[in-house]
Amino acid sequence: MSRFKNEITHLQAHIRTLRLGLAGLLVLALLLGVGWWQSPRDLTIHVPPDLRSGSVRKWWEVPPESVYAFTFYIFQQLNRWPTNGEHDYARNLHALSAYLTPACRVSLRQDYEYRRSTGELRERVRGLYEIPGRGYGDDPASRVQALSDRDWIVTLDVSADEYHGSEQVKRALVRYRIKVARQDHDPERNPFGLVLDCYSQAPERITVPVDESAAADLGGGLGALQGAAR
């Protein structure tokens, strides 16, 4: 009888071992399931604009060309007033708020209120474009300064044109140095994960050589520049 009792005891111990192993596998499967459920469903990957050559990057890194392209696109949209600056500027600030830091939104709102009070927005049409020969591809090192892997200063050389009705009232060549930060707070409204933090220093007037001026077709030349570099 003792031999049978030993066999039964051995089988019961083996069954307990199997049960413990099964319980451990169940816990492991639950942990793996929770990790898989909490993993991101979407990843923002910044791909260089020029795909003629290969590129190997870590998916979380933001290349400088993407930072420049984002900055110019958002800044250009912010300064596009197609019909009436008094309404268009306010609309842009609201529509692009997800691409601005809170401090920058406050600063630009103050700029809007000042311009409106001085009559600089009423019936104004404004457009902003990059000066040919002064883009990222012409001198990348001077266009994007990396302060860290999450902060940059982007230099934009642009021409700002303003019209009142059919009459041009301003054509200014301006250099903007804009702070850019990485903030992945709201991917639903801001899929880029980047925001503008306004200016690192005050905008400044610039000049271009004669050949660049001709290439840009800036017409009346520097003597025709009117208005503040705002």
Q: What is the pLDDT of residues 170-192, one digit of tens each?
A: 899 999 999 999 998 888 899 89
> Residue 167: how many CA atoms within 13 Å on its side-chain side?
4
Average pLDDT of 200-226? Answer: 61
Residue 85 lies in a domain: yes
Average pLDDT of 12-33? Answer: 87
In this structure, the answer to whether residues 88 and 154 fall within a common structural domain is yes
Residue 115 lies in a domain: yes
63's tokens:
């290349």
In this structure, the answer to whether residues 5 and 116 fall within a common structural domain is no
The DSSP line for 138-178 is G-HHHHEEESSSSEEEEEEEEEEEEEETTEEEEEEEEEEEE
Residue 166 lies in a domain: yes
In this structure, the answer to whether residues 118 and 25 fall within a common structural domain is no
Model confidence at 54, pLDDT cuts 50, 70, 90, reads low
112's tokens:
């809007």
In this structure, the answer to whether residues 11 and 121 fall within a common structural domain is no
pLDDT at residue 100 is higher than 70: yes
Residue 131 lies in a domain: yes
Average pLDDT of 100-105? Answer: 96
Average pLDDT of 92-107? Answer: 96
Query: How many distinct helices (H) and strands (E) make up the chain?
Result: 6, 6
In this structure, the answer to whether residues 216 and 118 fall within a common structural domain is yes
Residue 104 lies in a domain: yes
- Which is higher by pLDDT, 159 or 38? 159
Rounded Cα–Cα distance for residues 166 and 164 (Å): 6
In this structure, the answer to whether residues 131 and 199 fall within a common structural domain is yes
Model confidence at 40, pLDDT cuts 50, 70, 90, reads low
Query: Considering its fold, how many domains does the chain have in total?
Result: 2
Name the DSSP class of 100: B
Residue 50 lies in a domain: no
Residue 45 lies in a domain: no
In this structure, the answer to whether residues 181 and 88 fall within a common structural domain is yes
Structural domain for 181, as ranges: 64-224
171, 177, 181, 187: CA torsion to nearest 10: 10
- What does the pLDDT read at residue 94? 96
Residue 194 lies in a domain: yes
Rounded Cα–Cα distance for residues 59 and 46 (Å): 7
In this structure, the answer to whether residues 121 and 171 fall within a common structural domain is yes
Average pLDDT of 186-200? Answer: 92
pLDDT > 70 in the chain, percent? 79
Average pLDDT, the chain: 83
Model confidence at 74, pLDDT cuts 50, 70, 90, reads very high
Rounded Cα–Cα distance for residues 62 and 55 (Å): 13
In this structure, the answer to whether residues 88 and 12 fall within a common structural domain is no
In this structure, the answer to whether residues 203 and 162 fall within a common structural domain is yes
In this structure, the answer to whether residues 167 and 106 fall within a common structural domain is yes
Lowest mean pLDDT among 30-44, 76-90, 98-112, 145-159: 30-44
pLDDT at residue 199 is higher than 90: yes
**154 close to 143: Cβ distance less than 8 angstroms:** yes
Helix boundaries (H) for 39-159? 64-78, 85-95, 102-117, 140-143
In this structure, the answer to whether residues 219 and 177 fall within a common structural domain is yes
Average pLDDT of 78-98? Answer: 95
Residue 71: give its domain's CATH number.
3.10.450.230
- What does the pLDDT read at residue 80? 95
For 217: left if phi > 0, alpha if psi spans -120 to 50, otherwise beta; the answer is left
